[in-house]
């Protein structure tokens, strides 16, 4: 049975946002109250101009995104004006989140970037509440979400728009994609999308992929080691994560090579330890190209 694209996305939207009950809404309001109370004082004493992400957004607006080709400026030259800023590029973190911050800073000022970080932080707390409820029940899910909300690192980096912390928000959103209330196809699309989306904030989201691979590969130590991969989820994770590489490698050829290596590893994992995958046409194509 083929599901129309509009019906497919409507189903996901309905399940995620409308299939709720009054108890869930009450728990969300409680989490929001804890979130607001715990972030009130840090936000009150915050100075947005001292955050690196805010300074980079300022400079992109000042020198011009097109003139800078979207490149960041080395941290030592973020104050004052330099005659040739292209000589002081900072290529270590070329994440597109800085371009989003540039537009936010242009429209809402420095505090807009802090507000964006707070909004994403609250969304991560709600995502943690939803997936914990799905696996452990309402009461335990609420307790876990509150602990997640009041964690010191959560409070600090919801006010500080650190790009690494923004990328770490992948964890609760990706865990939500394992919710049993969604079909495997829906979870696969969402997992691949959120992996790619949060990879645009920081390449450091790769440290989360190990745990996600354990989940998608179905690795279990209960009664001995067993592996039962969910192939569509595993493929979505590798594609979403692999596409992140395209933005951080020095050339398209290197990005293509890395993608081919990952596809070969995926085929080897899906077809087991035997050599049957060697005869798979996709594997032979990857082998020939790489």
Contact status, residue 190 vs residue 177, Cβ threshold 8 Å: yes
Instruction: For residue 274, name the pLDDT band (cuts at 50, 70, 90).
Output: very low
Find the Cα–Cα–Cα–Cα dihedral 197, 202, 206, 211, rounded to 10°.
Answer: -70
What are the structure tokens assigned to 105, written together? 């800073």
Residue 23's pLDDT is 83
Cα separation, 138 vs 46, in Å, equals 34
Closest by Cα among 286, 124, 282, 95 to 194: 124
Residue 31's pLDDT is 94
The average pLDDT across 203-211 equals 73
Residue 240's pLDDT is 81
Paired residues of 89 in beta bridges? 73
The average pLDDT across 128-138 equals 88
Residue 155 has pLDDT above 80, yes or no: yes
More confident position, 226 or 153: 153
Instruction: For residue 10, name the pLDDT band (cuts at 50, 70, 90).
Output: low
pTM of the entire predicted model: 0.72
Residue 279's pLDDT is 45
The average pLDDT across 165-175 equals 81
Residue 250's pLDDT is 53
More confident position, 239 or 204: 239
- Can you tell me whether residue 109 is helix, strand or coil? coil
Residue 8's pLDDT is 54
Cα separation, 22 vs 140, in Å, equals 17
Instruction: For residue 33, name the pLDDT band (cuts at 50, 70, 90).
Output: very high
Cα separation, 199 vs 255, in Å, equals 15
How does the average pLDDT of the chain come out, rounded? Answer: 77
Those residues whose C-beta lies under 8 Å from the C-beta of residue 8, and which sit 6 or more positions away, are 185, 186
Domain ranges of the chain: 19-168
**Range with the lowest mean pLDDT among 7-21, 62-76, 185-199, 240-254?**
7-21
């Amino acid at each position: 049975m083929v599901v129309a694209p509009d019906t497919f996305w409507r189903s996901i939207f309905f399940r995620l946002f409308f299939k709720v009950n009054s108890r869930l809404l009450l728990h969300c309001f409680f989490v929001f109250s804890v979130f607001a109370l715990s972030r009130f004082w840090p936000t009150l004493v915050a100075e947005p101009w001292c955050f690196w992400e805010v300074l980079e957004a300022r400079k992109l607006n000042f020198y011009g995104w097109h003139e800078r080709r979207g490149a960041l400026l080395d941290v030592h030259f973020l104050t004052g004006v330099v005659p040739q800023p292209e000589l002081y590029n900072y290529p270590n973190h070329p994440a597109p989140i800085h371009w989003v911050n540039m537009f936010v800073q242009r429209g809402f000022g420095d505090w807009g970037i802090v507000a964006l970080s707070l909004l994403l932080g609250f969304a991560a707390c709600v995502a943690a509440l939803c997936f914990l409820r799905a696996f452990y029940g309402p009461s335990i899910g609420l307790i876990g979400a509150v602990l997640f909300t009041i964690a010191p690192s959560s409070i600090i980096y919801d006010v500080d728009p650190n790009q690494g912390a923004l990328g770490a928000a992948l964890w609760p959103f990706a865990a939500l994609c394992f919710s049993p209330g969604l079909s495997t196809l829906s979870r696969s699309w969402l997992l691949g999308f959120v992996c790619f989306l949060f990879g645009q904030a920081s390449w450091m989201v790769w440290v989360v992929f190990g745990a996600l691979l354990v989940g998608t590969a179905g690795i279990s130590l209960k009664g001995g080691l067993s592996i039962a991969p969910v192939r569509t989820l595993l493929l979505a994770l590798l594609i979403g994560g692999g596409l992140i590489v395209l933005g951080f490698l020095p050339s398209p050829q290197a990005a293509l090579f890395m993608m081919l290596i990952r596809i070969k590893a995926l085929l080897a994992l899906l077809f087991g330890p035997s050599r049957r995958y060697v005869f798979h046409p996709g594997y032979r194509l990857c082998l020939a190209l790489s």
